[in-house]
Amino acid sequence: MGDLVAALALVTVTAVTISWSLEFPTRYLLNTLGLYLLIATLVLITIPRTLAGPGLGYANRVTLFRASLIVPIAAMVTKLVPLTASEAWWVIAVSTIALILDGIDGRVSRHKQCQTTFGARFDMELDAFFLLVLSLLVWQTGKTGMWITGIGVIRYGFLIAAFFRPWLGQTLPESLRRKVICVVQGIALLICLGPIVPSTLAIFVGATALFLLVVSFGIDIYWLANHRTTIRPTD
């Protein structure tokens, strides 16, 4: 698909630029491309044939562009060493753009009247993956304990729990609280990544963000538990 090929070109250029400017080894480039191909494969497997508009559609293109920014950041996790100051500032700059774009794809879908279940799921899963990546990068800095990865892992733990308790996998109502909490997590993790942010502040900010996320999940689980006999499973 043309959109996926265009995104691959962008990811490649970005990865090559990073490898050259930050003097990363060749395996970083290979890891970046491999990760993107995995995401592209998942998109191809799950995309419905009934999508309206050219290619993936306007809103999904924004989400895909955001993914092309996130993938080179995700590949940095495979270095298994803390980011240098210059690398951390690069991650913060690009991640800020990705966070801003997160609010644009929804507006585009509403403006173009092209909201789809696939688009919403694509956006949500990319958000979850992004938080996982940032939380791992923060953990690698050594500023916080491994508990900070809870911000990125909690979503996947919820999915595993839903496998054993199907009522957890039902559709939740739209929630501004959920969207705001997601943005707060991203901002908090970027603050923790800041080279000028001391460990004590990173621990406070990270712990506060994790607490808010746990409370938000708790509210959703409580709602699902009280409505499990009145809602129907999604397809």
- Position 234 in a domain: no
- Does position 70 have pLDDT exceeding 60, yes or no? yes
- Does position 112 have pLDDT exceeding 70, yes or no? no
- Position 197 in a domain: yes
- Tens of pLDDT, residue by residue over 191-222, are 999 999 999 999 999 999 999 999 999 999 99
| Integer Cα distance of 115 and 124 in angstroms | 13
Residue 121 vs residues 24, 46, 117, 201, 224: alpha-carbon distances, Å? 33, 10, 6, 33, 19
- Position 233 in a domain: no
Reported pTM:
0.90
- Position 232 in a domain: no
- Tens of pLDDT, residue by residue over 9-45, are 999 998 898 888 888 888 999 999 999 999 999 988 8
Give the rounded percent of residues in the chain with a pLDDT score beyond 70: 90
Give the rounded percent of residues in the chain with a pLDDT score beyond 90: 60
Total tally of structural domains belonging to the chain: 1
Domain that holds residue 208: 2-227
Alpha helices in 112-198 (DSSP H): 117-141, 150-164, 176-193
CATH number at residue 41: 1.20.120
CB 39 within 8 A of CB 93: no
- Position 181 in a domain: yes
CB 137 within 8 A of CB 91: yes
Overall average pLDDT of the 55-70 stretch: 85
Q: 231 pLDDT band (50/70/90 cuts)?
A: very low
| Integer Cα distance of 108 and 102 in angstroms | 11
- Does position 170 have pLDDT exceeding 90, yes or no? no
- Position 235 in a domain: no
